[in-house]
Amino acid sequence: MNEPGTNIMEKYDHPGARLRNAISGGEIIPFIGIYDSFSAGIAGRHFQGLFVSGFSFAASYYGLPDVGFIAWTDMLAFVQRLRAILPDHHILVDIDDGYCDTEVACHVVRQLSQIGASAVVLEDQKRPRRCGHLDGKQLMDLDGYLDKLHKVLACSGEMLVVARTDATDEAEAVRRAEAFAVVGADAVLVEAVGTLSLLSEVKRRVGLPLVFNQIAGGKSPPATLSELKTAGVSLVNYSTPCLFAAQSSIESAMQELLASDGLLPKSGAKHVGVAECNKMLHENLAGISVQGLKGN
């Protein structure tokens, strides 16, 4: 049994260390944006990397746009539940600007490292913030952001810290990426890039692992994993596929139910029934059991 106060992550390989090893292997790693534990269980059947998307979490947990409503306590509780059902996946967490204050950012990062998050993304947007692929973003003063980044890195332990810039001017984006590297960021994300050539330039300048954010209808060009690997990308965030798929599927299901005079469809290849859903939920329960055994 664990002694009181023992951090399980100190007794086993930290998920951050596992992610570092995966990156050093040279393969590009896709991260699927999930919006709750249920969508994470489904995505986790197909992909080893999961992204706790701020856009998706704000939509799912609050029913609100991604403009700064997320409370750090809610995010910590969610990641803890996620790690319980998926003990072996890479989990990348969007923490926006660290929830305003630097001390809060450091506290959240320490807690996420203890919970077992693999990495966090810390952005340089100034509040009021907005989705990185929308217009009207404002940037923090670079020195102020670098000070926060430096302090977050100092308390992140084995967990990776991805430094994200929302600069829309390419020259400014490169300048900031270079500054992030000097401070010691583990990886760099230039949000909403207009061309893949910018990624190659950033990679040449900073030499760090690059993260690329894909979002349907966003400003970045659609690209295959092969194309992104050639451009120097190590991690690819697919921010919202689960959320958007859920919106589309729920709309369709409601329309079908209305059109059929309330008759539910038969379960099969197209429609999930109670057996299929219950099977997946029991797989999640098995993940919790495995995590419990690791703690003994």
Q: Comparing 136 with 187, which gets the higher pLDDT?
A: 187
Nearest by Cα to 125 from 64, 182, 189, 187: 189
State the Cα–Cα distance between residues 178 and 75, nearest whole angstrom: 29
For residue 5, what pLDDT band results from cuts at 50, 70 and 90?
A: very low
Angstrom distance (rounded) from CA 187 to CA 208: 5
Maximum distance among all alpha carbons in the chain?
63
CATH code of the region 8-252: 3.20.20.60
Q: Tell me how crowded residue 67 is: count the other CB atoms within 10 A of its CB.
A: 14
pLDDT, tens digit (0-9, with 9 covering 90-100), for 208-219: 999 999 988 888
Q: Where exactly are the structural domains of the chain?
A: 8-252
How do residues 46-100 score in pLDDT, each as one tens digit? 999 999 999 999 999 999 999 889 999 999 999 999 999 999 999 999 999 999 9
